[in-house]
Each structure stands twice: as structure tokens, then as C-alpha cells.
Structure 1
């Protein structure tokens, strides 16, 4: 990397003292992973900026086993995150959707859905269908789950899923107030990770920065919990208030500088684990700042990078790798 900070052509109010501090993360990342950095553009939406565009049909898509429905309807997204997913609400429909996607050249699929009132995505009836997608259609198959019990961990393992994605929350108040799960605690998320590791899953936990109504609360504890279980990767996203219920929509997300502190904490806590910035984060100038801070904080990848970020990565000595896959696939050598 060049000495010091390379200025952007358009300075959007960057904190250069923060950038200097983030260089610690850059050095950690370079020491453990070299100079490659991944930029992702999964196929659930078209994304194009001046220096980043993938000219290909979608290769990795999302499917919801509950369609747009979510029994929990927490304040975080009120099911809106499910709206861009392909619905497949029965095992037979999931098989059919998988066949159609395979015929169109899709290589990978993320299966998720809305949660029940215990915070569980009820994948149990879909195990055989998931196994069909993985073993017969040869699709790279991941599942984004809620809380996990033994039956779910075992069933997904028998189905042969490539990786399990799971949101980890580090504060009981957030679980109670935002997720509407007063009968659950951080211990339940910790137990979910334990069960997934016990059954030999590749795990890619997610941490949602600003989940507590735009405030930083429990993110570092979530990362601490995750670090106990030797994750295969870590995805960091930022809360998007306009997805949530009314009380969320009027609140600003955390500032890019606040998010950068969380990203650096994750990099230092998990120096040998791929850390990537996921697709969910607010747009606009704050996104540009966040993505730039992320480069300096030493992330392994960024999904839907803001304009100029890929170019800047080259300027500071990184070697971009462009992928049409979900960012969680950073854990696989095919990237």
C-alpha cells in the first residue's frame, strides 16, 4: 500500500484521523489475506455504477420459503427484506424453482424466509427439497436462518447445505424491543452457533450495525460471541430504517464513522476470518464514506460498492476480484 491516505477525487467529509486509525485493520488484512479484495453483485437486483458492473445473467439468487409473509413482523424490516426474494412456499415449489433457476444458468441459491414468533425460520419440511437442490441440481446452497435448534442443525447438515448464515444480536434489549422476542436472549443466539458448529456446518454470522433503532448497542458483544465459534466468515451490514415499521422509518441510521469503529473491532477480533460488507446498508454519501472506511479497515469484500470504491481500491494497492455471487461465498475457494 502507498504511504498514508490516498485522497478521493471528491471528498465527502471524510475523517482523515479515523482513516489513519483504520490502517491497523488494513495491515491485519494484508498480513493474513494478501492484496485481493472481492466486490460482489448478487443477482436479486441490477446494480451499476461507473466503475463497477457485471455483464452476466444472475448467478446467485434468494428464495423465501414464506413468500413475503413473516409471523414475527419485528420492527427491523417488517418482512420487506423478503420482498425481493423468489417465493417457494412448499417443498415441491422449491424443487421446481431450483430446476428453473438451474436451467437459466444460476449457480447458487440462498434460502430463507420469515420467522415465527420464536424467531425461527421453519425450514424443517424443506430438508429433502434442499438436499435435491444441492445434490441433484448441484447448486451452491446456503440458508439464512433464525434461531436454531438441534433438529434444524441436524436436518440442514443431512441436506448438505454449503453454509448457514445467521444474524447474531448482542443485546437483550434489542432482542426484546426490536425483534419482539422478550422470551429470548443473547444466550439463545450463542446456543444457535454452538449447535451449528456441533453439527459441522460452515457458519457465516451476520451483525446488523445500528439494529437498536439506529444506535450502536451490542454490536461488539455480538462479535465477541461470534469469535468464540471460529466462524468461516463474518458479514457486517447496516440497518436500513425505511425497511422497518413507522418508529424505525423516522430514525437516522448510524453514521459511517460509527460503523467504521465496529468494522475495525471485527477485523481486530477476527484477524484470520474473512470479513465482508453485505448488501444491506443505506445509499447516498454515507454509503460512499462507509465503503471507503471499510477498505482502510481491512475488509475482505464489499457488496454493491459505491461509485469510485473499486477504483480507489486499486489506487491503494489492492487487487479487486469481481463476483456475481452472494458475499457469504467469500469462504469458498471458487471466488
Structure 2
């Protein structure tokens, strides 16, 4: 079987006998809590959990701290501009000074053209993360954005054209077409040849317009993981950090172990014990998107 990577970045409090997120890669919002959109499932709440990097001084402070404690990378995120992209490129002159010392993973938002993609590249971004949404109604009614499915697909194409690794996220429970719509997001990504794929699930957040929504069931997540693995047999498939929790979801992680899913973010202790006798395990405090580099190191070592 493939090696199994277990990840715990500094996105939330997580402590186990084998991983501690306090040692994890920093997640920094370059816009603070600002976003031009107010998505019904997020309501800017996700930004509140990130480190405020809304000025050059704040970002540099966090970068220097990350380097001093020996981190190998950082996660840059933030709210979108009205054009759709997360304006990480505003700090290009600062970021490229440190890009040879840190792997920069970025949530890019929608990238409207190759020029914007190139700005991310010039900022030292090595890996780009962006959700893939399969239906225009969800983009309009849930995300509140004036974009289309093609805009999302083209974003990956522009980023790949400038040689940034692309790692799409598929959020189960987001499509207005139900599970079939979420699975369509996976199938559509065959157009862009992703470097890895991360499956996550809607987590109804208090204070958002979707706080009463039904999260994806364990069975639905398993179907999506199976579909992703079968559709993309040759790239890493990850069970990402943003997903429903609870004892009933343990079966999802065990399925991931048994079905050759490459990585699990913030695994349960029981999953670690279950996996030890089945697969070779590698532990990391990186963002799980870094698997595009981690797996290459393991294969070539």
C-alpha cells in the first residue's frame, strides 16, 4: 500500500500523542477578517481563526518567527477581492525574499487571468489551493460570487501554466445538486490534471447563514473518497482538515486507511492505532497540500 501521511498544521487546536498543532505551519490571512464576499457557509468566520497578516509588518513578524522555530513553510490565505483572488501578491517583494527558506502554500481564490497567476508565482507561491464548485447556482446563491464553473476551472489552468502546483479542494455538502453535484466537481477536475486533490466537508458554523445545514454523512464522504481515488489513481488524495467530526466519522478515516487515501489531516487517535499495522506512516505539521512535495521525498529517498 501507499505510505500514509498524517498532518496537523496550526489551523486549530489539536493535540495527540503523535502530533501537536502548536508546532504546525502558521495559517495567515493577508486581509485580516476582510472579504469582498460573504459566503453563506463561511460568513468570514474562517478568517477569524487565522493569524492577522493584514500589513507587511505583521506578515514579516510571523515569517521570521516561523523561520526561527524551524518551520519549513507557511499557509497564506485571506478574503477575496471583488475580482475573486486573494491579494497575496500585494506582498510579493516581501514574500520572495523568504521563498527560498519557506514553502509558501496559498489559497488563491478565483484567478481571472494568467497575469494574476504570474503575480502569485512571483510572490514565491509553490502550491495553490482553491475550492472546486460544480454548479453555477451554488456559486451565485451560496458563495455570492459573480463567477462561473468555468472561472474556477480556468483558475487552475492559469496557475498550472505558470508552474504552480495545484491542489483543489472539493467541499462535500456545498453543491445545490446534493452529493451528485459534489461528485461532479471531482470529475470536472480531470480537465486540469491536479497535482493532488483534497476532500473536505461542510461544517455548519455558528453565526453563518448555513449554521442549520446538514453536514455530509460518513457514507457520503466515503463515496467521495472512493470516487476521487478511482478517478485519479496516480495523484495524492487527501482527507482534509475541514470536515465533520464525531465517533460516527471514524469509519471515514478507517476507510481512508484501507482504500489507499494518501493523507489525513487531524486524524483521530484510533485511526493512528488502526493504521500502524497496515501502512508506513509519516507525521507532519505542514498543510496537507504539501503532500505533493512530501510524497516525492519519500518515493525518492
What TM-score do the two structures reach when normalised by structure 1? 0.82
Q: Do structure 1's residue 72 and structure 2's residue 37 form an aligned pair?
A: yes
2:291 alignment partner in structure 1 = 330
Equivalent residue for 2:150, pick from 162, 187, 191: 187
Quote the offset at 1:57 in angstroms.
Answer: 5.3
The answer to which of 99-108 and 139-148 deviates more is 99-108
Quote the offset at 1:320 in angstroms.
Answer: 1.5
Q: Do structure 1's residue 134 and structure 2's residue 99 form an aligned pair?
A: yes
1:298 alignment partner in structure 2 = 260
SS of structure 2 residue aligned to 1:110: strand
Question: Structure 1 residues 289 and 243 mapped into 2: Cα distance closer, same or farther (>3 Å)?
Answer: farther
Bigger-Rg structure (1/2): 1
Q: CA RMSD in A?
A: 2.0
Separation (CA, whole Å) in 2 of partners of 1:73 and 1:319: 42
Q: Do structure 1's residue 116 and structure 2's residue 87 form an aligned pair?
A: no
Separation (CA, whole Å) in 1 of partners of 2:67 and 2:135: 40
Separation (CA, whole Å) in 2 of partners of 1:328 and 1:100: 22
Aligned partners of 1:214 and 1:252 also within 8 Å: no
Deviation by residue 1:130-169 (Cα, 9 ceiling, x = unmatched): 212313xx01111111101322210111223221111111
Which 5+ residue runs of structure 1 have no aligned equivalent? 1-29
Separation (CA, whole Å) in 2 of partners of 1:210 and 1:88: 30
Quote the offset at 1:258 in angstroms.
Answer: 1.0
- Matched pairs, number: 295
1:9 alignment partner in structure 2 = none
Question: Structure 1 residues 93 and 48 mapped into 2: Cα distance closer, same or farther (>3 Å)?
Answer: closer
Aligned partners of 2:95 and 2:123 also within 8 Å: yes
Separation (CA, whole Å) in 2 of partners of 1:48 and 1:93: 27
1:24 alignment partner in structure 2 = none
SS of structure 2 residue aligned to 1:45: coil
The answer to which of 122-131 and 275-284 deviates more is 122-131
Q: Which structure carries more relative contact order (alpha carbon 8 Å, separation 6+)?
A: 1
What TM-score do the two structures reach when normalised by structure 2? 0.91
What aligned pairs does 1:1-335 form with structure 2 within 5 A after superposition? 30=1, 34=2, 36-49=3-16, 52-54=17-19, 58-135=23-100, 138-149=101-112, 150-181=114-145, 183-212=146-175, 215-242=178-205, 245-246=208-209, 248-315=210-277, 317-333=278-294, 334=297
Quote the offset at 1:261 in angstroms.
Answer: 0.7
